[in-house]
């Protein structure tokens, strides 16, 4: 999805919810406005000695309910508009889940796949230094996102801590366990997708034993969803990456596929099942479809070919406005991103709490708490959808926007 299009998408969704809630014009303007947006230069010396200047961003949309929270993305398509859209989605996501956070997002316009480890470290440390004044465990807590990982978070934490003169593990989440990371964080987003898919199947009366599942995106989220749903008895009939993937009508041998990929094989070249393109994946007959790659993949060009009963948005904004309308008319149950992929930020909250207390929980405890929060959030959204006679996306936005708006009313306006 183009960056300007992604922002239009988010703003339109907000207006639908605001209209349902009857928010006055002043409050709407306040909820739409970002608290702060920082654009920084990130000069980085490449391994060949050449200096390259990247552009970095950190957007804080809203801090009414608590410090800002959101990922750091390294991708060529990172822009101010895209970060603004994602920061706003984070505000609604955190509010929907009942977390004491506002929304933020940041990143650098770069291609991390072309950079060495040393280059990534130099770039990360400079970026962290540039945004140092607006991040912190009680201000804005970054986390991994597309193109970043535990190591990037470790460098960010170390850079911030060196500037402060003390170790501050709570400044970021998604860190390595040794540095204050949380058990279960890496799989949290995928587990959250799985938990709400199970709840949706109950609503529609879909039996998971033998249910067909197709997944776009075989990164951390897609792999976890596939593994969890397979344990429920589902058949994972197709998985794809950026260049395509594999299909088998009676279910892929997921363990073998994971072994091939772990060994460095390209997903689309693994000798399991038949090769399939991303375009073909969206036309497969299945009970559950999980777009867990990048935004805008479900659009008006393919929405009328989707044959799934449940679409669970593992990625951020994978469905365009036009596709949303088509799927709604065709009776496809869409579980929106601010609910479906909220497992990551929920366990990030757990990590932050553990860091502040210097007391850590077991993985079983974390997964049980995550399942409870995700299941309860789904049930609240389902009840709101029935109450307002709307789809799940609109219901989720009504609940989240209402919560942030109430926070504004309670806090008032300073000065």
| Pair (145, 58) in one structural domain | yes
pLDDT of residue 396: 98
- Residue 316 inside a domain? The answer is yes
Q: How far apart are CA 125 and CA 112, in angstroms?
A: 14
Q: How far is CA 257 from CA 37, 208, 225, 277, in A?
A: 42, 21, 14, 17
pLDDT of residue 295: 86
Mark which of 168, 199, 221 sits at the end of a domain.
168
CA 210 to chain CA centroid, Å, is: 28
Sheet bearing 333-335, strands edge to edge: 274-276, 244-247, 235-241, 212-216, 288-291, 310-312, 333-335
Percent of the chain with pLDDT over 70: 99
Sequence-distant (≥ 6) Cβ neighbours of residue 120 within 8 angstroms: 74, 112, 152
**Counted domains in the chain:** 2
Percent of the chain with pLDDT over 90: 95
- Mean pLDDT score, 313-336: 95
Which pair of tokens denotes residue 356? Answer: 């502040």
| Pair (88, 40) in one structural domain | yes
| Pair (206, 272) in one structural domain | yes
* 3-state class (DSSP) for residue 384: helix
- Residue 376 inside a domain? The answer is no
Q: How many CB atoms sit inside 10 A of residue 372's CB? A: 11
- Mean pLDDT score, 179-188: 96
- Mean pLDDT score, 165-173: 98
- Residue 253 inside a domain? The answer is yes
Sequence-distant (≥ 6) Cβ neighbours of residue 345 within 8 angstroms: 69, 90, 93, 94, 97, 99, 101, 143
| Pair (107, 200) in one structural domain | no
- Mean pLDDT score, 298-317: 95
| Pair (198, 83) in one structural domain | no
CA gyration radius for the chain? 21
Sheet bearing 102-109, strands edge to edge: 36-45, 51-62, 102-109, 68-75, 140-144
Residue 2 confidence (pLDDT) above 70? no
| Pair (138, 242) in one structural domain | no
* Residue position matching structure tokens 């895209």: 82
Contact 160, 132 (CB under 8 A): yes
- Residue 120 inside a domain? The answer is yes
pLDDT of residue 254: 95
| 230 classed as catalytic | no
pLDDT of residue 294: 85
| Pair (217, 113) in one structural domain | no
Residue 312 confidence (pLDDT) above 70? yes
Which pair of tokens denotes residue 131? Answer: 């945004």
Half-sphere exposure of 350 (CA within 13 A, CB side): 26
Beta partners for residue 334, in sequence order: 311
- Residue 367 inside a domain? The answer is no
| Pair (231, 150) in one structural domain | no
DSSP element (H, E) containing 200: helix 188-204
Domain that holds residue 54: 34-168
Residue 8 — pLDDT band, cuts 50, 70, 90?
confident
- Residue-wise pLDDT for 109-147, tens only, equals 999 999 999 999 999 999 999 999 999 999 999 999 999
* 3-state class (DSSP) for residue 250: coil
| Pair (323, 259) in one structural domain | yes
Mark which of 310, 340, 370 sits at the end of a domain.
340
Strands 140-144 and 102-109: unpaired
- Residue-wise pLDDT for 341-357, tens only, equals 999 999 999 999 999 99
Residue 189 — pLDDT band, cuts 50, 70, 90?
very high
| Pair (192, 335) in one structural domain | yes
pLDDT of residue 326: 96
- Mean pLDDT score, 3-31: 91
Residue 3 confidence (pLDDT) above 70? no
- Residue-wise pLDDT for 276-298, tens only, equals 999 999 999 999 999 999 888 99
| Pair (209, 290) in one structural domain | yes
* 3-state class (DSSP) for residue 91: helix
Cα angle value 62/73/66 (rounded, 5°): 25
Quote the DSSP letter at residue 316.
S
Alpha-helix residue ranges (DSSP H) falling in 205-253? 220-231
- Residue 386 inside a domain? The answer is no
- Residue-wise pLDDT for 64-108, tens only, equals 999 999 999 999 999 999 999 999 999 999 999 999 999 999 999
Q: How many CB atoms sit inside 10 A of residue 304's CB? A: 12
pLDDT of residue 6: 80
* Residue position matching structure tokens 């995700």: 374
**What are the two backbone dihedrals, phi and then psi, of residue 11, each rounded to the nearest 5 degrees?**
-65, -40
pTM: 0.94
The CATH number of the domain holding residue 112 is 3.40.50.10860
Beta partners for residue 70, in sequence order: 142
Q: How far apart are CA 339 and CA 151, in angstroms?
A: 27
- Residue-wise pLDDT for 215-254, tens only, equals 999 989 999 999 999 999 999 999 999 899 999 999 999 9
- Mean per-residue pLDDT over the chain, rounded: 96
pLDDT of residue 126: 98
- Residue 41 inside a domain? The answer is yes
Strands 68-75 and 235-241: unpaired
Residue 370 confidence (pLDDT) above 60? yes
* 3-state class (DSSP) for residue 142: strand
Q: How many CB atoms sit inside 10 A of residue 243's CB? A: 12
- Residue 160 inside a domain? The answer is yes
Catalytic annotation, pick one of 93, 105, 175, 230 = 105
| Pair (141, 219) in one structural domain | no
Which pair of tokens denotes residue 82? Answer: 């895209």
Strands (E), 242-400: 244-247, 274-276, 288-291, 310-312, 333-335
The CATH number of the domain holding residue 199 is 3.40.50.720
């Amino acid at each position: 999805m183009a960056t300007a299009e992604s922002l239009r998408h988010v703003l339109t969704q907000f207006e639908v919810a605001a209209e349902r809630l009857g928010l006055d014009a002043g409050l709407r303007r306040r909820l739409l406005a970002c608290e702060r947006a920082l654009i920084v230069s990130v000069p980085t010396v490449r391994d060949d000695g050449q200096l390259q200047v990247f552009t970095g961003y950190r957007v804080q949309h809203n801090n009414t309910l608590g410090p800002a929270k959101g990922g750091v993305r390294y991708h060529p398509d990172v822009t101010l508009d895209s970060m603004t859209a994602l920061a706003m989605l984070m505000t609604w996501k955190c509010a929907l889940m009942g977390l004491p956070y506002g929304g933020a997002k940041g990143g650098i316009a770069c291609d991390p796949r072309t950079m060495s480890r040393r280059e990534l470290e130099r770039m990360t440390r400079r970026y962290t230094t540039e945004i140092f004044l607006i991040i912190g465990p009680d201000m804005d807590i970054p986390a991994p996102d597309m193109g970043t990982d535990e190591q990037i978070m470790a460098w960010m934490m170390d850079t911030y801590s060196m500037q402060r003169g003390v170790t501050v593990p709570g400044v970021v989440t998604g860190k390595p366990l040794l540095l204050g990371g949380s058990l279960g964080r890496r799989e949290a987003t995928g587990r959250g997708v799985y938990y709400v898919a199970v709840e949706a199947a109950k609503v529609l009366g879909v039996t998971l034993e033998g249910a067909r599942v197709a997944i776009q995106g075989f990164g951390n989220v897609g792999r976890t969803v596939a593994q969890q749903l397979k344990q429920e008895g589902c058949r994972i009939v197709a998985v794809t990456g950026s260049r395509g993937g594999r299909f088998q009508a009676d279910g892929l041998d997921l363990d073998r596929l994971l072994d091939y990929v772990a060994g460095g094989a390209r997903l689309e070249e693994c000798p399991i099942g038949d090769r399939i393109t991303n375009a073909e994946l969206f036309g497969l007959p299945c009970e559950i479809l999980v777009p867990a790659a990048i935004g805008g993949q479900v659009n008006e060009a393919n929405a009328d070919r989707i044959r799934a009963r449940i679409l669970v948005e593992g990625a951020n904004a994978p469905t365009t406005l036009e596709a949303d309308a088509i799927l709604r008319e065709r009776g496809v149950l869409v579980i929106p991103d601010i609910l479906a992929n909220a497992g990551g930020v929920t366990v990030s909250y757990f990590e932050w709490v553990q860091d502040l207390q210097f007391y850590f929980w077991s993985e079983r405890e974390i997964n049980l708490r995550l399942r409870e929060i995700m299941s309860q959030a789904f049930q609240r959204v389902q009840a709101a959808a029935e109450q307002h006679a709307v789809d799940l996306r609109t219901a989720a936005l009504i609940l989240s926007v209402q919560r942030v708006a109430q926070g504004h009313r309670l806090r008032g306006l300073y000065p």
